Chains A and B, each alone.
Chain A
Amino acid sequence: MIGHPDPKLLRAAVPALSLALLLVAIFIIQPRTMSYFGLNLMLNLALPIAFATMAQLFILTVNDLDLSIGGFVSMVACIAATWLNETPLLGIAALIASIAAYAALGALIHLRNLPSIVVTLGMSFVWLGCAVLILPSPGGAAPAWLTAIVKFQMPFVPLSIVACAGLGLIVHLGLMRSAGGVVLRASGGNPQAVARAGWSLLKLKVTMYALAGTFGVIAGLILVGTTTSADANIALRYTLLSIAGVILGGGEFTGGRVSPIGAVLGALTLALVGSLLSFLRIAPEWQIGAQGLMLIVVLALRSLVNQFEERAA
């Protein structure tokens, strides 16, 4: 068909184009953001969202859905702002235990053949409960070393941009290019075939959940490093943002079709929508609704891409 763009290219281009459009709009409305300081300020809060989105991507790769990532990141933030600061050993042990808990959830979901949505929905309340127990009222303090890392001033390019690029590239290499990553994605594409080829689906799933837990922990640490204090509800909206970020980035809910670089771009887009709306002087009470509308528009673009693909097939 002449005149139709290559659907694969289009799929890869949508997240990059949406982000570029958004940035251009922000730069026009508020030219001062086009500086080292301005970009750093805007993107600082996007970095933890990008990590949480990557955690979600690992779960979506194996055809599951994680509704607990927001609660989990909140809990990690609370641990980081209390135990990790006051009794670092206890804090580290708690973070490792929470990653182990994530891995165990993966094993449970696989072995008992449970729907991940139900298990993680339940767990989201458990994480939130833990967060409230650890830090009953907003406060706490981030460890000094953590703040120092997150607020580190890189020459020329803000740290958050380098970190986002590094995140996308590393996960791309690990999941999309490496031999091990291929098998992990395969278990989302056709689990039965993977089992028939002699791989353990249990190990694959546990690996993915453990990776998700690890990235969730990193997201929580960065978040506390940026905000310097925590709150049990600090990251609850990450659950939906992370799912939307993966889908916006070119991923699918099932079938192991994901794109790590796209997911980072998707996460940045969603995080920046908030900034744009502030610059447009939209009242905060309207912002969430406006954010939702923009999300629908962008996801509609995605489904348009899907239609192109079907027509090309």
Chain B
Amino acid sequence: MSGPIEDVALVALSGVTKSFGAVRALAGVDLAVRRGECVGLVGHNGAGKSTLMQILAGTRTPTDGRFALAGKDIPIADVSVSRALDAGIRCVFQELSLCPNLTATENVRVRHATLSGFGWRRKASRLLTEALDSIFPGHGIAPAATVGDLSLGRRQMVEIAINFIVTDAAEPKLVILDEPTSSLDQSVASQLLAFARRFVERGGSVILISHILGDIFSTANRIVVMRDGAVVADRPVAAFDRAGLVAAMGHVAEDRDGRREAPAKSLREGEPMVVAMPPRQEDESRVAVHRGEIVGLAGLAGHGQTALLRLVHHAVHHRSRYATVKGRMAFVAGDRQSDGVFPLWSIGENVTVRSLPSLSRFGLVSSRREAAMEREWKETLKIRTPDMDDNILTLSGGNQQKALFARALGSDAEIISMDDPMRGVDVGTKREVYERIRQEAGRGRSFLWYTTEFDELLHCDHVYVFREGRIVAELGRGEFDEEKVLQASFEEAAA
């Protein structure tokens, strides 16, 4: 592995702290990024990674510490977005920063202020197409498409491409990628990582934040581990192995032992709780969910899995041609911002909202019972907050997701549908939630689980693979492995 080019650090932080009221998000961080290196940044949810990146991007000012750009000290009060942009620091935020009402081209203009005057639209469109072509060959995204009409994965691709655009006035020197692969399917994610490696070879720098450790190992030259708002390890990638890295993050290393023990008798007996047919299905295949069963929906992102979940959900209260549901149902969103959290409510209210009838007496919500439920789920899922009455948005992304899980698990639902709920969630939280799901299934709850990560399918009893809005394969426990799922997902393209 070639070492990074020795140079003055592009950006150097020392002793940087950041507090939000009583919560100390960063407790003295030292970090320097030089030219031509890819820094992998890992840590569990709430370790302070996102806050650190917001400081680097200039969107938050640190409470204390020193901040230097290209060797020049900058008073921390002067840390600002425009300074970071001038220094060539660009950031792909975890929750995307695109305007859904604009076209992809127009979003380029918003990000690159120098694109103006006559003919800006053509120029922006060309720059975007070039960037998309070089990062994601065969992307199929029209620059004139309205962003709100694009799938989440494609939005992510546009966001990434915009940040790598080189204009006459500015070029990216350090690009921060915060969970960039979480809403991309595997082939597109590997295109991105390959591009990041080429970018670094040409002398650019990348900070890669990812919960998928394979991405970190394949792309980074150096790994920085954060825990509780501080950097606890900062070493070349060769000095880590998988187990060592997980241990440094503060979790006990475990192998892939998540595979669920096969139950004594088959669950696929009797009448199913849910039967659903994708509208485009031409043959007799149906998705069926039985009591106590965990059913996985697999395939590449955006091939009709989310649509099926929506359809099933609709069928709970309406007559539907495509699905029948027997039982109460709750939903865990993957796209937190748009169909998950109530952004103006507290964490506690976000957890209890699905259960208010059972917390009520004489039609009024009992605040004592509500508080008890909030306390219980804060403990159970280890939601990291000083107070459940704080606003939900004070939580890190992964902890918001925990609150959404608590909402569904704490409800009286017999069936829980999940729309790729682990996007951007760290390894530790995932394990805790997997464990919980298994327990709940053991008690007779059913799960309908759309996931883009193969590892999660190992927790399922039965898997349906989707392609182009249809079920193309149905695999029982023990029948499926990664190769089979991939093969079914791609079959058409290979033929």
Contacts and interface: CB of A to CB of B under 8 A. Distances in A.
Interface string B78-95: 000110010000010100
A110 interface: no
Interface in A178-229: 179-180, 182-183, 185-186, 188-190, 192-199
A186 B102 CA distance: 7
Interface residues of B, number: 26
Given A190-B97, A193-B99, A255-B101, A183 B59 contact: no
Contact of B81 (A179, A182, A197, A255): A197
A21 B117 CA distance: 40
A256 interface: yes
Contacts of B100: 189-190, 255
Contact of B111 (A185, A192, A197): A197
Contacts of A256: 99, 101-102
A313 interface: yes
A151 interface: no
Given A179-B116, A179-B120, A313-B149, A194 B110 contact: yes
A182 B106 contact: yes
A185 B113 contact: no
B98 A193 contact: yes
Contacts of A199: 110, 113
A14 to B, nearest CB: 18
Contacts of B110: 182-183, 186, 193-194, 197, 199
B286 to A, nearest CB: 22
Contacts of B107: 186
Nearest to B116: A179
Nearest to B118: A179
B97 A197 contact: yes
B57 interface: yes
A172 interface: no
Contact of B101 (A188, A196, A313): A188
Contact of B109 (A182, A192, A196): A182
Contacts of A185: 99, 101-102, 106
B106 A186 contact: yes
A190 B147 CA distance: 12
A195 B59 contact: yes
A180 B116 contact: yes
Interface in A14-60: none
B150 to A, nearest CB: 10
A190 B98 contact: yes
B115 interface: yes
Contacts of A183: 109-110
Which of B93, B102, B117, B120 has most chain A Cβ within 10 Å? B102
17 contacts: A185-B101, A186-B101, A186-B107, A189-B101, A189-B102, A190-B100, A193-B96, A193-B99, A194-B99, A196-B93, A197-B111, A197-B113, A198-B82, A198-B113, A199-B113, A256-B99, A257-B101
Given A182-B110, A194-B99, 18 more contacts: A179-B120, A182-B109, A183-B110, A186-B99, A186-B102, A186-B106, A186-B107, A186-B110, A189-B100, A190-B97, A193-B97, A196-B57, A196-B93, A197-B81, A197-B110, A198-B81, A255-B100, A255-B101
